[in-house]
Amino acid sequence: MTLSLSKFIIFTLLALSLHQNSIADEVDNSSVWQQLKHNYFGQRFIHHNATDLLFIEVPDKVEDAAIMPITIKSLAAQTAEYHIKTLHLIVDNNPQPYSAAFHLSPELGPITLSTRIRMDSFSNVRIIAEMNDNSLHMVSRFVIASGGCSSPVSKDRGAALSRLGKVQIRARPSIIGQQKVAQIIISHPNASGMQFDDASRQFIPAHYVTNIKISFDNETLISAETGITMSENPSVRFVFTPKTPGTLKATITDSKQHVYINERYID
């Protein structure tokens, strides 16, 4: 590779990076976000770029806008005196911008929480941490992905519906008193109401998970309010530290008020 070609490639990559950053800045300061901020948080002050408190991880290249993985991590110590009580997930340009709220127990300790979401169009994805002193702290990432909210449900819709409501609880082996990785997966189409059924030539009615409650020995660890931004077969992966053996339980409610429950003994 010649020196001039190398310079050209470096210049091109730099230009693309600067262009993406300028788009993100423009969207961040847009009237859309300002209106969303007012709608959901009123006049409350939000600390921007709270990178000392939170880290948000999304792929550099989104392979499928209907199942984009996102991970949120706390970078500051979580104590009974000062901890994150709620994580608000907002995707500015999605049909349902306020996408989820995860209410967290301080018993979780350091937070590592992962899920999968749909991206309808290019947008800032925001995580706003609400602390137990009611202060608000935000991190965001601009994501280039589109079409996820109208992307077809599973190729075999009949098979998907036959599994409706099955809840899986996965937990990696670990020593009691040490961090354990667990995952809750609910078999559910999480239909957004924007997907078209080629067979019936009609839109599939919205039918999605609205609440996810995860408890350990009857003590709630995570209580989430969710909507159509969550992907098909919603998943919540998290870390917690069981002090004794006990029962991990997941209770799922959907928009038709169906309730699905599963539990697993952890030792």
Instruction: Tell whether 75 is covered by a domain.
Output: yes
pLDDT tens, position by position, 6-40: 444 444 444 444 444 444 444 455 789 999 999 99
Instruction: Tell whether 8 is covered by a domain.
Output: no
Instruction: Tell whether 144 is covered by a domain.
Output: yes
pLDDT tens, position by position, 61-88: 999 999 999 999 999 888 889 999 999 9
Q: In degrees rounded to 5, what are phi and psi of residue 19?
A: -65, -45
Tally the domains of the chain.
1
Specify the pLDDT at position 213: 98
Structure-token pair, residue 263: 């539990």
pLDDT tens, position by position, 129-141: 999 999 999 999 9
In angstroms, the CA 257 to CA 118 distance is 22
Residues of the chain whose pLDDT is less than 50? 1-3, 5-27
In angstroms, the CA 128 to CA 100 distance is 11
Contact between 196 and 240 (Cβ < 8 Å): no
Residue linked to tokens 């262009």: 19
Instruction: Tell whether 95 is covered by a domain.
Output: yes
Instruction: Tell whether 38 is covered by a domain.
Output: no
Instruction: Tell whether 113 is covered by a domain.
Output: yes
Give Dmax (Cα) for the chain.
65
Q: Could you give the angle at the alpha carbon of 212 between the alpha carbons of 211 and 216, nearest 5°? A: 145
Specify the pLDDT at position 152: 81
Specify the pLDDT at position 155: 63
Instruction: Tell whether 129 is covered by a domain.
Output: yes
Instruction: Tell whether 100 is covered by a domain.
Output: yes
Which residue range is the domain that position 251 belongs to? 45-266
19 CB contacts (<8 Å, ≥6 apart)?
Answer: none
| CATH at residue 241 | 2.60.40.10
Specify the pLDDT at position 28: 53
Specify the pLDDT at position 12: 43
